[in-house]
């Protein structure tokens, strides 16, 4: 049987446009979101088309017509149905003959009606095996015409040969049960000879004389083995295995060097590099076997300025960096880059180093535009580090969607003139990319604002003591600040004597420690510390006292800024939920309140809402998010439309003497609780919609 398209069909197909995608793509279709009343969104917007081939009663080919979009009616090949089978699959796709072709059905000719989606075959799919899984059901228990056949299929057409069929693998569904759903599966391995061909996945029926041909299909899964997306490469190096006498030892490891030169006033003069980091050299870097400690093994790397550059003598400043780099990969977006290392200032760097600066950094450069401008940087100043002791330092950076595909760097550098000393030793370099959902609580847990219950069974003795008392079997958490504000960390509600300590995780420096709120009536702990947006903070917790009497049921509560978060946010186009933080003063008369929102869709418009109540409306107004402060008192700062820009963040300081409401403006008063939330434009699967941030309530004083 010839199932090829005719030349006439090819012309029609060219006029309508192929529904084929650029390459084979995974499809998962359950029809639940399709509109059963609309010809467009109903079926055709899911990528389905129809084609009909007509044969005479003896099976001879007569003609074909299509491809045309399903109009979601039974007379025209395909429609959406619901409530069929046991159990019901919800909404499903019914295919049947083109009954509106009354002439051919009345003539006793055979109509082969096809409903399918199609994709182009390209070289990147050669050798891959793709699988079709689906459920099927007979739509009518009474009808069972002997001459009707139905099937699901995978088909390959050659457009260069009049759309001749070069591969056809049907799964017969003629004997479908009319009550119970049946599952079926088939697969195809993509032949290299099919490059440029069209692959169709769909359903067909053959019948005449208006015989019943209705079959119902659901849960269509078209799956292939696409290669896993590339991920960023972690890195670990203790330098002990590198050849100290090999001048290419560092460059072979991928370490690069680059320098920028500035005049004495800080004006940029020129830059040079990148090139392989030298070992050793008069400038930049070397492997050293001196000044080691027990944890540093036999060798480390020493990084210093480029003393070969004669601009030192001219009084110009040279910023010299030694680093490794790689592109930011889409698969790593939402993760955190964690750069840790041991560091010690060289014994040869004394007090005569002038105004030289030494530092470590995480950096992202704009490589996509070709400018290589720095668009993200976390830099730790190591100028005053010890010349006697090795310290451990950790730097972190969030890999947000705005830096997708850009150039990520980690490394060490110095800024100096007049040949000032800048040597710093580094060892046990480790770079990892951590998904916060995959961190083991046995090591440390990344936590968000709110209340966390913690289990003593995961506690271990880290060996890090508390500055304000003694503790046993501690637990560690890490928190990334959302704004420049104050952070309250509390163990209130825990049923045992706690002790609490906070460090700056970017530098490892101690910030604060607290033991008892009011011993013995309240032996829990509380800290209020200033934090910087995006910076990570270690939170160390323990039970006070001796082993065996240290732990009970632990509660850790984190509040950033002022006020109280009352509901979470749905993920938006940035991949995260937008977070609202209130900063400033809770005293109404101060009129000093700032509303900061981060993790918004990039370059999106929005405005703040305010209310005196907290009625929850899921998906309010068709939004992808939830309105948490619905009430008859809601007001909109619609006259203050904000743009989130490239940073995906906004900041707004409302006038507390003129708060919008449904009947006009009012002033904030002491004792009043008011709630704020942010509305933003958003995209969901490419479809324009809206979303909401978290909501925060504040009781004014």
Report the CATH number at residue 247.
2.60.120.260
CA distance 291 to 236: 21
CA distance 305 to 319: 7
Q: Are 606 and 650 in contact (CB under 8 A)?
A: yes
Residue ending a domain, among 223, 252, 281, is 223
Least confident of 282-296, 335-349, 654-668: 335-349
What's the pLDDT at 306?
A: 96
- The H or E element spanning position 40 is helix 39-42
What's the pLDDT at 4?
A: 29
Rounded average pLDDT over 174-178: 94
DSSP assignment string, 43-110? TGGGT-EEEEEEE-TTS-EEEEEEEE---SBGGGTEEEEES-TBTT-SEEEEE---TT-HHHHHTT-E
- Does the pLDDT of residue 441 top 60, yes or no? no
Q: What is the DSSP letter of 4?
A: P
3-state SS string for 282-317: CEEEEEECCCCCHHHCCCEEEEEEECCCHHHCCCCE
Report pLDDT digits (tens) over 26-49: 999 999 988 888 776 678 888 999
CA distance 256 to 410: 10
Residue with tokens 């041909």: 213
Least confident of 56-65, 80-89, 340-349: 340-349
- Does the pLDDT of residue 309 top 50, yes or no? yes
What's the pLDDT at 658?
A: 94
Report pLDDT digits (tens) over 180-217: 999 999 999 999 999 999 999 999 999 999 999 999 99
pLDDT interval class at 94 (50, 70, 90):
very high
Q: Are 176 and 98 in contact (CB under 8 A)?
A: no
- Does the pLDDT of residue 134 top 50, yes or no? yes
CA distance 554 to 539: 14
Instruction: State the CATH number of the domain containing residue 572.
Output: 2.60.40
What's the pLDDT at 635?
A: 93
- Average pLDDT of the chain? 86
- Does the pLDDT of residue 493 top 80, yes or no? no
Total Cβ atoms within 10 A of residue 197 = 23
Report pLDDT digits (tens) over 228-246: 789 999 999 999 999 999 9
Which residue did the predictor score with more confidence, 561 or 53?
53
- Does the pLDDT of residue 422 top 90, yes or no? yes
Question: In a 10 Å sphere around its CB, with 0-12 CB exposed, 13-18 middle and 19+ buried, how is residue 373 labelled?
Answer: exposed
- Does the pLDDT of residue 437 top 60, yes or no? no
Considering the domain architecture, whether residues 243 and 188 belong to the same structural domain is answered as no
Report pLDDT digits (tens) over 162-172: 999 999 999 99
Rounded average pLDDT over 274-287: 95
Whether a cis peptide bond, with omega within 30° of 0, leads into 520 is yes
Considering the domain architecture, whether residues 217 and 283 belong to the same structural domain is answered as no
Considering the domain architecture, whether residues 193 and 122 belong to the same structural domain is answered as yes
Q: What is the DSSP letter of 584?
A: E
φ, ψ (nearest 5 deg) of residue 15: -70, -40
Report pLDDT digits (tens) over 248-271: 999 999 999 999 999 999 899 999
Residue ending a domain, among 405, 433, 461, is 433
Considering the domain architecture, whether residues 174 and 239 belong to the same structural domain is answered as no
Considering the domain architecture, whether residues 266 and 399 belong to the same structural domain is answered as yes
Considering the domain architecture, whether residues 212 and 254 belong to the same structural domain is answered as no
Question: In a 10 Å sphere around its CB, with 0-12 CB exposed, 13-18 middle and 19+ buried, how is residue 611 labelled?
Answer: buried
Considering the domain architecture, whether residues 675 and 579 belong to the same structural domain is answered as yes
- 228 lies in some domain: no
Question: In a 10 Å sphere around its CB, with 0-12 CB exposed, 13-18 middle and 19+ buried, how is residue 268 labelled?
Answer: exposed
Angle CA(20)–CA(23)–CA(29) in degrees, nearest 5?
65
Considering the domain architecture, whether residues 395 and 346 belong to the same structural domain is answered as yes
Instruction: State the CATH number of the domain containing residue 515.
Output: 2.60.120.380
Total Cβ atoms within 10 A of residue 212 = 18
CA nearest neighbour of 89 among 164, 139, 27: 139
What's the pLDDT at 414?
A: 95
What's the pLDDT at 8?
A: 25
Rounded average pLDDT over 372-389: 80
Strands 635-636, 605-611: pairing is: antiparallel
Which residue did the predictor score with more confidence, 605 or 470?
605
Highest mean pLDDT among 236-240, 333-337, 343-347, 451-455: 236-240
- 229 lies in some domain: no
pLDDT interval class at 647 (50, 70, 90):
confident
The CA distances from residue 683 to 119, 370, 602, in Å, are: 25, 28, 11
- Does the pLDDT of residue 696 top 60, yes or no? yes
- Does the pLDDT of residue 398 top 50, yes or no? yes
- 217 lies in some domain: yes
Q: Are 269 and 298 in contact (CB under 8 A)?
A: no
Considering the domain architecture, whether residues 112 and 206 belong to the same structural domain is answered as yes
pLDDT interval class at 436 (50, 70, 90):
very low
- 1 lies in some domain: no
Sign of dihedral through CA atoms 10, 14, 16, 18? positive
Whether a cis peptide bond, with omega within 30° of 0, leads into 87 is yes
Count the domains in the chain: 4
State the pTM of this model.
0.42
Q: Are 545 and 536 in contact (CB under 8 A)?
A: no
In terms of residue numbers, what domain contains 399? 235-433
CA distance 597 to 652: 9
The CA distances from residue 57 to 54, 66, 172, in Å, are: 10, 21, 21
Least confident of 108-117, 135-144, 349-358, 487-496: 349-358
Residue ending a domain, among 527, 560, 593, is 560
CA distance 479 to 538: 7
DSSP assignment string, 94-153? EE---TT-HHHHHTT-EEEEEEEEEEE--GGGTT-EEEEEEEEEES-SS---TT-EEEEE
CA nearest neighbour of 137 among 83, 201, 100: 83
CA distance 508 to 239: 23
What's the pLDDT at 112?
A: 96
Report pLDDT digits (tens) over 501-530: 898 887 778 898 988 877 777 788 888 888
Rounded average pLDDT over 621-650: 91
**DSSP reduced 3-state for 19:** coil
Considering the domain architecture, whether residues 87 and 186 belong to the same structural domain is answered as yes
What's the pLDDT at 654?
A: 95
Which residues make beta-bridge pairs with 690?
681
Token pair for 562: 């002022």
Considering the domain architecture, whether residues 401 and 271 belong to the same structural domain is answered as yes
Considering the domain architecture, whether residues 363 and 272 belong to the same structural domain is answered as yes
Question: In a 10 Å sphere around its CB, with 0-12 CB exposed, 13-18 middle and 19+ buried, how is residue 621 labelled?
Answer: exposed
């Amino acid at each position: 049987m010839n199932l090829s398209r005719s030349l006439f069909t090819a012309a029609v197909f060219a006029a309508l446009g192929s529904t084929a995608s650029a390459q084979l793509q995974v499809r998962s279709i359950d029809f639940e979101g399709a509109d059963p009343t609309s010809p467009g969104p109903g079926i055709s917007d899911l990528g389905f088309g129809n084609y009909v081939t007509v044969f005479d009663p003896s099976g001879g080919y007569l003609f074909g017509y299509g491809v045309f979009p399903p109009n979601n009616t039974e007379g025209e090949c395909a429609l959406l149905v619901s409530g069929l089978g046991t159990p019901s699959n919800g909404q499903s796709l019914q295919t049947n003959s083109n009954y509106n072709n009354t002439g051919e059905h009345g003539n006793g000719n055979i109509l082969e009606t096809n409903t399918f989606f199609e994709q182009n075959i390209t070289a990147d799919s050669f050798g891959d095996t793709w699988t079709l899984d689906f459920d099927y059901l007979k739509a009518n228990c009474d009808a069972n015409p002997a001459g009707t056949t139905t099937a699901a299929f995978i088909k390959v057409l050659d457009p260069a040969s009049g759309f001749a069929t070069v591969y056809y693998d049907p799964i017969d569904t003629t004997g479908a049960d009319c009550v119970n759903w049946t599952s079926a599966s088939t697969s195809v391995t993509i032949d290299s000879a099919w490059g440029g061909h069209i692959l169709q996945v769909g359903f067909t029926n053959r019948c005449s004389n208006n015989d019943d041909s209705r079959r119902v299909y659901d849960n269509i899964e078209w799956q292939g083995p696409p290669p896993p997306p590339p991920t960023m490469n972690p890195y670990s190096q203790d330098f002990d295995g590198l050849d100290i006498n090999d001048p290419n030892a560092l460059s072979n490891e991928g370490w690069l060097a680059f320098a920028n030169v500035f005049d004495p006033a800080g004006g940029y003069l020129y830059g040079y590099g990148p090139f392989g980091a030298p070992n050793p050299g008069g400038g930049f870097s070397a492997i050293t076997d001196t000044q080691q400690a027990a944890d540093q093994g036999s060798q480390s790397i020493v990084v210093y300025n480029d003393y070969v550059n004669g601009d030192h003598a001219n009084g110009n400043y040279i910023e010299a960096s030694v680093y490794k780099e790689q592109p930011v990969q889409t698969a790593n977006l939402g993760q955190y880059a964690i750069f840790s290392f041991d560091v010690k200032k060289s014994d040869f760097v004394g007090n005569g180093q002038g105004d030289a600066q030494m530092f470590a950094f995480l950096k992202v450069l704009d490589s996509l535009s070709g400018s290589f401008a720095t668009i993200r940087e976390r830099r730790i100043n190591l100028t005053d580090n010890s010349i006697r002791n090795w310290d451990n330092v950790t730097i972190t950076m969030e890999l947000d969607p705005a830096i997708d595909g850009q150039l990520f760097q980690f490394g060490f550098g110095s800024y100096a003139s007049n040949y000032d000393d800048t040597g710093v030793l580094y060892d046990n370099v480790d770079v990892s990319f951590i998904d916060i959902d995959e961190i083991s609580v046995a090591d440390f847990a990344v936590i968000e604002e709110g209340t966390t219950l913690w289990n003593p069974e995961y506690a271990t003795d880290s060996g890090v003591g508390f500055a304000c008392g003694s503790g046993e079997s501690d637990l560690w958490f890490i928190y990334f600040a959302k704004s420049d504000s104050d952070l309250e960390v509390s163990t209130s509600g825990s049923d045992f004597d706690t002790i609490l300590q906070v460090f700056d995780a970017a530098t490892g420096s101690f910030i604060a420690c607290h033991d008892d709120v009011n011993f013995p009536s309240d032996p829990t702990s509380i800290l209020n510390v200033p934090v910087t947006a995006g910076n990570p903070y270690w939170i160390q917790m323990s039970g006070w006292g001796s082993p065996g009497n240290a732990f009970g049921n632990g509660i850790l509560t984190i509040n950033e800024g002022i006020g109280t978060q009352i509901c979470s946010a749905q993920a938006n186009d940035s991949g995260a939920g937008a977070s609202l933080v209130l900063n400033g003063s809770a005293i109404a008369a101060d009129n000093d309140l700032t509303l900061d929102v981060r993790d918004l869709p990039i370059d999106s418009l929005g405005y703040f809402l305010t209310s005196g109540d907290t009625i929850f409306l899921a998906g309010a107004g068709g939004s992808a998010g939830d309105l948490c402060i619905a009430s008859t008192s809601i007001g909109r700062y619609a006259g203050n439309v904000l743009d989130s820009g490239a940073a995906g963040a906004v900041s707004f300081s409302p006038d507390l003497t003129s708060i919008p409401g449904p009947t006009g403006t009012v002033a904030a008063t002491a004792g009043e609780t008011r709630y704020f939330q942010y509305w933003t434009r958003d995209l969901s699967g490419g479809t324009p919609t809206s979303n909401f941030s978290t909501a925060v309530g504040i009781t004014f004083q």
